[in-house]
């Protein structure tokens, strides 16, 4: 029986010369470190052997909240290799958020930054986790100290397509976050499709500047490079100047729109600087047509915009080359997210569950080998999000034009996308409503020049209470990831409501639409 472990597929794509460079770090304050393909193989083997030695139950969750580093990527690959389930957590998450994720996922192993060991280990041990390791972004911590005592050869765990590989938590429009369960088959099929659709070349070099705790940086970028045996230039955090400098030796860049906006602010962005590049890819949030056009005129390159979700990985993409399924069209159309990827069934439906005519707007539903197997321990929620014929309801609203291009025009889910991160107003409102003196609140997204969209909170005080904006923000900062904090908070006497008494968020958005732009 062939082994369908994703690690095996990735490993099979390593180049013949295992001593060539697989990853080179780009750090303004230190000389770059180089990791060969052999290093990746040996380091993942040592970590996988360490995980094996813990004699964990099959499909154990390995929850990881650490700063971005090559070793953190190696830990992800080692988790696949050992056959466990990777659970990445945004480093911005605070105590209450981590407590929920660990309580819900019941990981067998938790890996955290050395500086957070005190509070994270307390949460983990209380939740029944037996093993807590640390991993710093400078190759320090107990994880690597333990791993060096293990052998550097390891036979990858036998896996099938339906076996779980990762759980990604996505916030919910109501209630708490849901863990999207992705299988080896989901991840492999999507990586293979993207390798072909984005025309990866033998000599491609990827600039990796995204965080590695979400789909974009962890799966799309890392799998993309590894499954093509391509070198990565690895930035621990996004730095527009460093990206520009390295464009002369790279060919592919992936970013959320905020990264493109920030690079456009650099005078050094010129056609000459970008001449060596082959492909600029954008996603995770809508790319403004102004950004798309300005990038073209400043660099000569047309950004390729694509669309995806944690539950589905990538769904659609503008073409990289002629797409034979769409009369050989090659145009990357600004404002659209392109065509459904090969293997992805995508349809646009009305509220009654019927397909809308071409060009008309409706809810986007998808089906395919990339679509997740459900929400962790939430069978009812999972059932609600799928149609009887097996399509996943994305919550995005869009249309397909006569040429086959998909455009996202909005969302039926109450969601703010800020700098590529998702913020669910219901979650923030829940926290604000718990604050002393607060009667009610509403959080809405408004346009922002840097982050695309940011949250603004409108808060009603209980009778006789004087609330203070800065105090509310400061209290939230101690409880929630920083990107979720509303950028402004207004104390108001009332909120606009419709006849049913529901808060009219569209009116609030209109009222505050020019707060930042
Ligand atoms: C940082 N801040 C933010 C955000 N990031 N505020 C709103 N939205 C954000 N995204 C705030 C912090 O709270 C802080 O505020 C101040 O900015 C500085 O924080 P810092 O961490 O230094 O910011 P930064 O380093 O400049 O980060 C901005 C960033 C980052 C580089 C744009 O947010 C980022 O890497 N975004 C990419 C997200 C991503 O990878 N998304 C993919 C999801 P204060 O000073 O007040 O505390 S995957 C996905 O969506 C799907 C599947 C898909 O299709 O890909
Ligand atoms: P996440 O929950 O982090 O997986 O975010 C998924 C959501 O990001 C999707 O449902 C879309 O609303 C949004 N998204 C991703 N890519 C794009 C894009 N290119 N344009 C508009 N929205 C996008």
What CATH number does residue 480 fall under? 3.30.300.30
Give, in degrees to the nearest 5, the angle at Cα 315 between 314 and 316: 110
How many H-runs (helices) and E-runs (strands) does the chain carry? 16, 25
As a whole number of Å, the CA-based R_g of the chain is 23
Q: Which ligand is nearest to the CA of 172?
A: 2
Same domain, 498 and 355: no
Q: Are residues 503 and 425 in the same domain?
A: yes
Within a domain: residue 158?
yes
pTM value is: 0.97
Q: Containing domain of residue 366, as a range?
A: 312-411
Which residues, other chains included, contact 266 with Cβ-Cβ below 8 Å and sequence gap of 6+? 240, 241, 244
The finding on whether 284 has its CB within 6 A of some atom of ligand 2 is yes
The ligand that comes nearest to the alpha carbon of residue 412 is: 2
Q: Which atom of ligand 2 is nearest to the CA of 306?
A: 19
Query: Are both 490 and 420 inside the same structural domain?
Result: yes
pLDDT of residue 176: 78
What is the distance in A from the centroid of ligand 1 to the CA of 420? 7
Provide the CATH number for the domain around residue 147: 3.40.50.12780
* Pair 399, 444 in one domain: no
Answer whether residue 256 is part of any domain: no
Is residue 309 in contact with ligand 2, taking CB distance under 6 Å? yes
Q: Do residues 330 and 477 share a domain?
A: no
pLDDT at residue number 515: 98
Which domain-ending residue is among 356, 379, 411? 411
Pick the residue whose CA is nearest to atom 10 on ligand 2: 309
Q: Which residues of 35-47 are buried (b: 16+ CB within 10 A; e: fewer)?
A: bbbebbbbbbbbb
Ligand nearest to the CA of 398: 2
Quick check: CB of 308 below 6 Å from ligand 2?
A: yes
Report the pLDDT value the prediction gives residue 175, as an integer from 0 to 100: 61
* Residues 365 and 434 occupy one common structural domain: no
**Do 20 and 124 belong to one domain?**
yes
pLDDT of residue 246: 97
Count other C-beta atoms under 10 Å from residue 302's C-beta: 18
Residue 438: inside a domain? yes
Residue 330 in contact with residue 349, Cβ under 8 Å?
A: no
CA distance 214 to 90: 8
| Coil, strand or helix at 515 | coil
Q: Which atom of ligand 1 is nearest to the CA of 314?
A: 54
φ/ψ bin of 233: left (φ > 0), alpha (ψ from -120 to 50), beta (otherwise)? beta
- Tell me the residue length of the chain: 517
User: Among 171, 258, 337, which is best to mutate for testing ligand 1, by the most ligand atoms less than 8 A from CB?
Assistant: 258
Mean pLDDT, consecutive 10-residue segments, the chain of 517 residues? 96 98 88 95 98 96 98 98 98 95 98 98 98 97 98 98 97 78 98 98 97 98 98 97 97 98 98 98 98 98 98 98 97 98 98 95 98 97 96 97 96 94 94 96 97 98 96 95 97 95 95 98
Q: How far is the CA of 258 from the centre of ligand 1 (A)?
A: 8
Q: Quick check: CB of 37 below 6 Å from ligand 2?
A: no
Q: SS3 of 104, please?
A: helix
pLDDT at res. 174: 62
Distance from the alpha carbon of residue 462 to the mean position of ligand 2, in angstroms: 36
Q: Are residues 404 and 434 both part of a single domain?
A: no
Query: With a 6 A CB cut-off, is 211 part of the ligand 1 pocket?
Result: yes
Evaluate whether residue 401 is within a structural domain. Answer: yes
- 393 within a domain of the structure (yes/no): yes
Report CA(255)–ligand 1 centroid distance (Å).
12
Contact 345, 423 (CB under 8 A): no
Which residue's alpha carbon is at the smallest distance from atom 3 of ligand 1?
483
Among the three residues 183, 212, 245, which one is the final residue of a domain in this structure? 183
Question: Residue 222 falls within a domain, yes or no?
Answer: no
- 114-121: Cβ within 8 A, 24+ apart: 114/140, 114/141, 116/65, 119/95, 120/65
Ligand 1 close to Cβ of residue 421 (< 6 A): yes
Q: Which atom of ligand 1 is nearest to the CA of 484?
A: 7
Give yes or no: residues 81 and 120 share one domain.
yes
Q: Looking at the domain assignment, is residue 203 inside a domain?
A: no
With a 6 A CB cut-off, is 396 part of the ligand 2 pocket? yes
Ligand lying nearest the CA atom of residue 214: 1
In order of 156, 163, 193, 370, the CA distances from 2 in angstroms are 12, 14, 20, 20
- The alpha carbon of 414 and the centre of ligand 2 are apart by a number of angstroms equal to 13
Number of C-alpha atoms within 13 angstroms, CB side, residue 450?
Answer: 6
Would residue 426 count as lying in a domain? yes
Of 127, 160, 183, which one is at a domain's C-terminal end? 183
| Residue 364 CB–ligand 1 contact under 6 Å | no
Do residues 469 and 339 share a domain? no
CB of 315 sitting under 6 A from ligand 2: no
- Decide: 81 in ligand 1 pocket, CB within 6 A: no
Instruction: Give the pLDDT confidence score for residue 167 in this predicted structure.
Output: 98
**pLDDT confidence of residue 30:** 72
From the CA of 219, the nearest ligand is 1
Inter-helix orientation angle 117-126/95-105, to 10°:
30
Quote the pLDDT of residue 27.
Answer: 82
The domain total for the chain is 3
Instruction: Give the separation between CA 293 and CA 314, rounded to whole angstroms.
Output: 24
- Same structural domain, 484 and 452: yes
Which of 309, 399, 424 most suits a substitution to test ligand 2, by most atoms within 8 Å of the C-beta? 309
Contact by Cβ (8 Å): 220, 214 = no
Closest ligand 2 atom to 307 CA: 16
| Whether 29 and 46 share a structural domain | yes
Question: Does ligand 1 lie within 6 Å of residue 418's CB atom?
Answer: yes
Residue whose CA is closest, atom 14 of ligand 1? 482
């Amino acid at each position: 029986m062939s082994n369908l472990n994703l690690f095996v597929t990735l490993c099979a794509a390593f180049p013949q010369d295992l001593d060539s460079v697989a990853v080179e770090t780009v750090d303004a304050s230190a000389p770059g470190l180089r990791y060969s393909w052999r290093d990746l193989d040996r380091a993942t083997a040592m970590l996988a052997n360490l995980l094996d030695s813990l004699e964990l139950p099959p499909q154990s969750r390995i929850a990881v909240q650490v700063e971005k580093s090559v070793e953190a990527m190696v830990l992800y690959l080692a988790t696949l290799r050992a056959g466990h389930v990777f659970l990445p957590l945004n480093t911005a998450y605070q105590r209450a958020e981590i407590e929920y994720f660990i309580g819900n996922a019941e990981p067998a192993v938790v890996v955290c930054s050395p500086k957070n060991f005190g509070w994270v280990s307390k949460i983990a041990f209380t939740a029944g986790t037996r093993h807590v390791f640390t991993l710093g972004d400078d190759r320090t911590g107990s994880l690597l100290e333990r791993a060096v005592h293990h052998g550097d050869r390891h036979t990858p765990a036998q896996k099938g397509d339906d076996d779980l590989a990762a759980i990604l938590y996505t916030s919910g429009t109501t209630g708490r976050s849901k863990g999207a369960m992705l299988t080896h088959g989901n991840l492999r099929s999507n990586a293979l499709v993207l390798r072909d659709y984005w025309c990866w070349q033998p000599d491609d070099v990827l600039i990796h500047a995204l965080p590695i705790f979400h789909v974009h940086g962890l799966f799309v970028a890392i799998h993309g490079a590894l499954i093509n045996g391509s070198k990565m230039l690895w930035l621990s955090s996004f730095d527009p100047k460093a990206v520009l400098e390295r464009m002369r030796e790279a060919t592919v860049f992936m970013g959320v729109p905020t990264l493109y906006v920030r690079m456009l602010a650099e005078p050094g962005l010129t056609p000459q600087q970008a001449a060596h590049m082959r492909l600029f890819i954008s996603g995770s949030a809508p790319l403004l047509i102004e950004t798309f056009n300005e990038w073209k005129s400043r660099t000569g390159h047309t950004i390729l915009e694509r669309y995806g979700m944690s539950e589905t990985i990538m769904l659609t993409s503008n073409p990289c080359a002629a797409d034979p399924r769409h009369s050989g069209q090659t145009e990357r159309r600004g404002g659209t997210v392109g065509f459904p990827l090969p293997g992805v069934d995508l349809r646009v439906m009305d509220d009654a569950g019927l397909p809308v005519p071409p060009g008309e707007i409706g809810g986007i539903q998808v089906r395919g080998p990339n679509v997740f197997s459900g929400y962790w321990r939430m069978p009812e929620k999972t059932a609600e999000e799928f149609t009887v014929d097996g399509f996943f309801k994305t919550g995005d609203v869009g249309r397909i034009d006569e040429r086959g291009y998909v455009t996202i025009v909005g969302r039926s889910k109450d969601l703010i996308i800020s700098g590529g991160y998702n913020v669910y107003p219901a979650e923030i409102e829940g926290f604000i409503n718990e604050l002393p003196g607060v009667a009610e609140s509403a959080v809405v997204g408004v346009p922002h020049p840097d982050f695309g969209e940011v949250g603004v909170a409108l808060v009603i005080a209980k009778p006789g209470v004087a609330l203070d904006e800065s105090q509310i923000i400061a209290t939230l900062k101690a409880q929630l990831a920083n990107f979720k904090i509303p950028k402004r908070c207004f104390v108001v006497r009332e909120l606009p409501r419709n006849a049913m008494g529901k808060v009219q968020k569209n009116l609030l958005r209109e009222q505050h639409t020019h707060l930042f732009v």
